[in-house]
Amino acid sequence: GQNIDQPTEMTATEGAIVQINCTYQTSGFNGLFWYQQHAGEAPTFLSYNVLDGLEEKGRFSSFLSRSKGYSYLLLKELQMKDSASYLCAVSDGNAGNMLTFGGGTRLMVKP
């Protein structure tokens, strides 16, 4: 089985930087995804990490440390539209690579 932990809620200010952490425990790690979900909408893909290190994509970056079972999503130059839930999902190679989603972190961006 898997255990994925994320903070439930975070608040940040427009223009600032915020880091959303995700820790996981899995016996057969095979990759980690971050999805963004606005209220009332479907999740949309943000990033994928399978090797250690930082993946940068515009204002968003995602970091992975497999030895620590840890990832974070970094959002720079926050905009009001970044207010959403951010879901961490882990692929388990011992479960047919199926994804298990964390509970999500609800980010509120204030002016």
Partner 1 sequence: DAGVIQSPRHEVTEMGQEVTLRCKPISGHDYLFWYRQTMMRGLELLIYFNNNVPIDDSGMPEDRFSAKMPNASFSTLKIQPSEPRDSAVYFCASSLAGVDDTQYFGPGTRLTVL
Q: Per-residue x/- mask for partner 1, residues 70 to 89, rule CB under 8 A? A: -----------------x--
Biggest CA pair distance of the chain: 44
Is residue 105 close enough to count as binding partner 1 by CB under 8 A?
no
Task: Tell the smallest beta-carbon distance from residue 40 to partner 1 (Å).
Answer: 9
Nearest 5 degrees, angle CA 23-CA 24-CA 26?
A: 165
Is residue 102 close enough to count as binding partner 1 by CB under 8 A?
yes
User: What is d(CA 10, CA 105) in angstroms, rounded to the nearest whole number?
Assistant: 7
Q: Hey, which residues does 39 pair with through a beta bridge?
A: none
Is residue 62 close enough to count as binding partner 1 by CB under 8 A?
no
The smaller minimum CB distance to partner 1, of residues 69 and 102, is found at 102
Task: Tell the smallest beta-carbon distance from residue 43 to partner 1 (Å).
Answer: 5
Interface residue with partner 1 among 54, 80, 98, 108 (CB under 8 A) is 98
Q: How many residues does the chain have?
A: 111
Name the token pair of 53. 């290190």
DSSP class per residue in 14-25? TT--EEEEEEEE
Residues that bind partner 1 (CB under 8 A): 30-31, 33, 41-45, 48, 87, 91, 96-104
